[in-house]
A and B are shown apart, each in its own frame.
Chain A
Amino acid sequence: MASTNRIQQSSAGARIEGALVRPPSVEITVDGMPVVACPGESLAAALLIAGHRALRASPRLGQPRGAFCLMGVCQECVVQVDGRLVPACQTPVRAGMRVETGGAGG
């Protein structure tokens, strides 16, 4: 998904400070690259913050897609975590998790 990542690097999210005390951050890998995230936060949130907005390509048109509903309904944020397809918004970050974007067949 290198081509879509390039577009999205300029649009990154941010963690809001103040209301929550977060545990110490950990490292995960996304498409082979290290990404810092908080254990327990939603993987979709962590990816948004890291600028990984495009998570897969749509099936027929190949359009970039990313998290949309954030509640496990739309299935647009499905990524591979340690080899398995999961919706990122329903997956809590865990130290060392290996995330591959680009879906499976699209």
Chain B
Amino acid sequence: MSVPGGDRPVDAAVVGAGLMGASVALFLARAGMRVALIDRGGICRSASGVNAGTLTLHMTRAALIPYAMRGFEMWADASAWLGHDLGVTRTDGLCCAFTKDEAALLEERTRVRAAAGAPMELVSPARARAIEPGLGEGVRLATFCPIDGFASAYLTGLAYRQALVAAGVQVLEHRPVDGAEPAGTGFRMRGQGFDIRAARVVLAGGVWLEPMLRWFGIDLPVKVLVNQLAVTERLAPVLRTVLTVASGLLSLKQFSNGTVLVGGGWQGRGDRGHATGTLLPENLLGNLRLAAFALPALRDGRLVRAWLGLEAETADAMPAIGPVPGTPGAYVIGSVHSGYTSGPYMGRLLADLILGRTPERPLFPIDRLLAAARGPATEVAAQ
């Protein structure tokens, strides 16, 4: 059974309808390609739909700052190009240090991020409190950044689905792909009751990139981070910034509906074999304690929900974006640290590459990770 619409192969099949895959699919379709976007579940129901939605530079790796800033602009403008604003809210961003070590860490990280283009500056505790009156005691140093904010990540699927359908993408949900292989001049994706042929394939499977890349003989270890998140009931206005800490272990934001979302990458238990993991109580409590330390007003309210999302991480914690080595026509996108912020931009960059254009910024080819995995002997040979 082939894709509804005929037996003609599509120009591109994107496997994985998270933010990355959906973005690539959207931009390819808008450039005129016939695109199929396939997911084993519903669109954006994994990391993309359950993450904290933070749009910040405070938690962005230095090398990714320029990408995050472009991504931020795209999010802020989402109504125009995506047709849905996802509740994107621009705020100030404040990153705090509570100990001497954290202050040193903050100074260093601020310096490096600022050098990479982030408009950040160190501020005193008094200035931090003026920016964020609800701040707890004990702040020794803080970094202020006027480019910060958040989206309601749970709306990502809704926003993208509407845009994708309008762009003519075939959105194929609840269709797990069992395997993909070169077929003729293109590729063939097989699954329960479907068989899709495409000239090109884009692997956008998040934590599932590791098994996906094996379809093409690539052995790329992808670590699975099991990030815990929590949200409160509606509270009175208690937070006006996106609040983070030097170590990156806390993110706090208050939505217009009053709920406060607590994140920071505290780990739960899980793996890619299970769509959802289990909370580790000590880590949830640790995260919440840190949150209440930074924002004491949280203690007046109640925790309403805690959940987990799986985030992909390569060996060097940098993205995996570019062609699949050894398989012309196959591409990969994913594993971007704090990838929600830069997601739409990363998708556009890869789409540009696939369309034969020059991406305006370098991508992140995975060859570097495979060379390292193979070991020094091969590295020497490659040189």
Q: Do chains A and B make direct contact within the complex (CB under 8 angstroms)?
A: yes
Q: Does B155 contact A (CB under 8 A)?
A: no
**B255-303 interface (Cβ within 8 A of A):** 257-259, 300-302
Distance A78 CA – B234 CA, assembled complex (angstroms): 11
A85 and B257 contact, CB distance less than 8 A: no
Distance A84 CA – B297 CA, assembled complex (angstroms): 10
- B170 shortest CB reach to chain A, Å: 35
Q: Tell me which residues across on chain B come within 8 A of A60, comparing CB atoms.
A: 257
Q: Is the interface of A mostly helix, strand, loop or mixed?
A: loop
B300 and A103 contact, CB distance less than 8 A: no
A105 and B234 contact, CB distance less than 8 A: yes
B234 partner, pick from A59, A80, A83, A84, beta carbons under 8 A: A59
Q: Tell me which residues across on chain A come within 8 A of B234, comparing CB atoms.
A: 59, 103-106
Tell me whether A104 and B300 are in contact in the complex, defined as CB-CB below 8 angstroms, given that A59-B234, A78-B233 are known contacts.
yes
Q: Tell me which residues across on chain B come within 8 A of A103, comparing CB atoms.
A: 234
B300 and A85 contact, CB distance less than 8 A: yes
Q: Tell me which residues across on chain A come within 8 A of B235, comparing CB atoms.
A: 85, 104-105
- A25 shortest CB reach to chain B, Å: 28
Interface code A48-82, partner B: CB below 8 Å = 1, 0 otherwise? 00000000000110000000000000010010100
A85 and B258 contact, CB distance less than 8 A: no
- Interface bin, chain B: 10 to 19
**B129-172 interface (Cβ within 8 A of A):** none
- B217 shortest CB reach to chain A, Å: 52
Interface code B219-258, partner A: CB below 8 Å = 1, 0 otherwise? 0000000000000011111000000000000000000011
A105 and B236 contact, CB distance less than 8 A: yes
A104 and B257 contact, CB distance less than 8 A: no
A59 and B257 contact, CB distance less than 8 A: yes
- A63 shortest CB reach to chain B, Å: 15
- Chain B residues with CB under 8 Å of chain A are 233-237, 257-259, 300-302
A–B complex contacts, Cβ < 8 Å, 25 sampled: A59-B234, A59-B257, A60-B257, A75-B233, A78-B233, A80-B300, A83-B300, A84-B300, A85-B233, A85-B235, A85-B300, A85-B301, A85-B302, A103-B234, A104-B233, A104-B234, A104-B236, A104-B300, A104-B301, A105-B235, A105-B236, A105-B257, A105-B258, A106-B234, A106-B258
